[in-house]
Amino acid sequence: MTKVSRRAFLQASAMAAAGSTLIPADLSGQSAAGPKVRRLKPLGKTGWKVGDVSGGSDQTDPAVFEDMFQRGINLVDTGAQYVGHEDVLGKALPKWRDKVFVVDKWDPPLVTPKVTKAALLEALDVSLKRLNTTYIDCMMLHSIGHPRYGGIERIQNPAIYEAWDEAKRLKKIRFTGASSHGPRMLDEIGWGIDNNRFDVILIGSNFLTHGVEPLLKKARTKGIGTIAMKSMTLYQSDLNIRGLQGKETNARQACLKWILASDLFDTVVIRMPNLDKVAEYLAVSGTTRLTTQDRGHLQLAAAAIGPLYCRPGCRGCEGTCPCDVPVPDVLRYRMYFEHYGEQKRAIQKYAQIPVSQRASACADCDAPCERACPYGVRVRERLVGAHGHLSLA
């Protein structure tokens, strides 16, 4: 059984950092319109104060963005790789443009050691057109630290920084950054911080992950904005934990409250595909402490999902597979399939893995990856199941 450490809970119970703002309940609390953002925090040295709860992807209706913005959400995360998402945001954005901080990303396969400045600027212009805006607040490199896209030489390509400088000169972007939930995220995000490449970072983190604190401390010391993603673990979908059913706080809200109470991040982006999810997640905005009940909820969640969940940024099994199966990627695609409701996307992603590196051979393997996992994840079982779900053969 995976347990949440006492130290983690003590960290999560810390008070909010200086500079944050709690918005009075009569202005942004529960109202006839529903829950709203109740806490604002500085986003690094960008000059923005953003809500503690921010908007992730998966909206297909501009009305969801309209609802989000009316409730006080003022940072949204998008990217070229989220097919159609920039276009949907672009239908709602003009009305709110000066009130919303837009985080956008180049498609990961575009960013290679040999990509040119011209190609990056061309892709930026495509995103600007889709978003129906003349500028992006923060343009990011996405999925750095994912071996399937290449090594750190990708983000050491000078063309990236030349493109950023040119885009800033033309006032097409304001800030730069990177995002990752890959096994080498700490190394590659760390390189960018050390070399003063990023104004904002977006990383996978939740109550089951460990080891990100030194990176975040370094970022905060340099005034770099910090954003969390992947905060819901497996429970970003409608899946519930039996022990939490009927409770006032559900499993998803408990996971989110841990991020908010930890004060490790300036904000957290969450998938909000519909109005119900917007209201559900904003209901815990303003959280600065975990209660005893919250801690009990997370203990139940950890026991249920600990053996199933491949943690962002973990390299425990790296290099152990005799068939070079990209274990974290395959397990993430299974999560998309089972818990995100993105079956088509998951199957397409899995199909891009070379046949020789798919999980078809895992059933007969003695699972060195599982023995290497520091969290006791049932890796072989999860891989075999993933192949069954995702294979088109």
What was the pLDDT predicted at 312? 86
What was the pLDDT predicted at 345? 85
What was the pLDDT predicted at 304? 84
Per-residue pLDDT of the chain (393 residues; tens, 9 = 90+): 334 443 443 343 343 344 678 775 444 444 436 899 999 999 999 999 999 999 998 899 999 999 999 999 999 999 999 989 999 999 999 999 999 999 999 999 999 999 999 999 999 999 999 999 999 999 999 999 888 888 999 999 999 999 999 999 999 999 999 999 988 999 999 999 999 999 999 999 999 988 899 999 999 999 999 999 998 776 655 456 666 666 566 778 888 999 999 999 999 999 999 999 999 999 999 999 998 988 888 888 888 888 888 988 888 998 999 999 999 889 989 988 887 778 988 999 899 999 999 999 899 999 999 999 999 999 999 999 999 999 974
Residue 291 domain flag: yes
Rounded CA separation 268/226 (Å): 9
**Last residue within a domain, chosen from 302, 334, 349:** 302
Rounded CA separation 230/244 (Å): 20
Give the β-pairing of 39-42 and 21-22. antiparallel
Q: What is the pTM of this model?
A: 0.88
User: 68 with 271: CB under 8 angstroms?
Assistant: no
Burial zone of 203 (CB within 10 Å; 0-12 exposed, 13-18 middle, 19+ buried) = buried
Instruction: Mark whether 46 and 94 lie in a shared domain.
Output: yes
Give the β-pairing of 173-180 and 200-204. parallel
What was the pLDDT predicted at 368? 95
Instruction: Mark whether 365 and 267 lie in a shared domain.
Output: no
What was the pLDDT predicted at 24? 57
Instruction: Mark whether 146 and 210 lie in a shared domain.
Output: yes
Instruction: Mark whether 148 and 280 lie in a shared domain.
Output: yes
**Last residue within a domain, chosen from 273, 302, 331:** 302
Range of the domain at 353: 316-390
User: 99 with 69: CB under 8 angstroms?
Assistant: yes
Residue 295 domain flag: yes
Instruction: Mark whether 91 and 215 lie in a shared domain.
Output: yes
Rounded CA separation 207/179 (Å): 19
Q: What is the CATH number of the domain that holds 53?
A: 3.20.20.100
Residue 308 domain flag: no
Instruction: Mark whether 231 and 110 lie in a shared domain.
Output: yes
**Last residue within a domain, chosen from 276, 302, 328:** 302
Instruction: Mark whether 217 and 353 lie in a shared domain.
Output: no
What was the pLDDT predicted at 156? 96
User: 379 with 369: CB under 8 angstroms?
Assistant: yes
Residue 293 domain flag: yes
Q: What angle do CA 386, 106, 78 make, to 5 degrees?
A: 75
What was the pLDDT predicted at 20? 76
Instruction: Mark whether 330 and 210 lie in a shared domain.
Output: no
Q: How far is CA 258 from CA 246, 288, 294, in A?
A: 20, 9, 8
Burial zone of 361 (CB within 10 Å; 0-12 exposed, 13-18 middle, 19+ buried) = middle
Residue 307 domain flag: no
User: 244 with 238: CB under 8 angstroms?
Assistant: no
Instruction: Mark whether 242 and 374 lie in a shared domain.
Output: no
Residue 1 domain flag: no
Rounded CA separation 202/215 (Å): 12
Q: How far is CA 34 from CA 26, 202, 283, 284, in A?
A: 12, 28, 8, 12
What was the pLDDT predicted at 245? 64
Instruction: Mark whether 59 and 136 lie in a shared domain.
Output: yes
User: 286 with 22: CB under 8 angstroms?
Assistant: yes
Give the chain's domain count: 2
Instruction: Mark whether 121 and 244 lie in a shared domain.
Output: yes
Residue 259 domain flag: yes
Give residue for tokens 């609802």.
67
Residue 310 domain flag: no
Instruction: Mark whether 272 and 360 lie in a shared domain.
Output: no
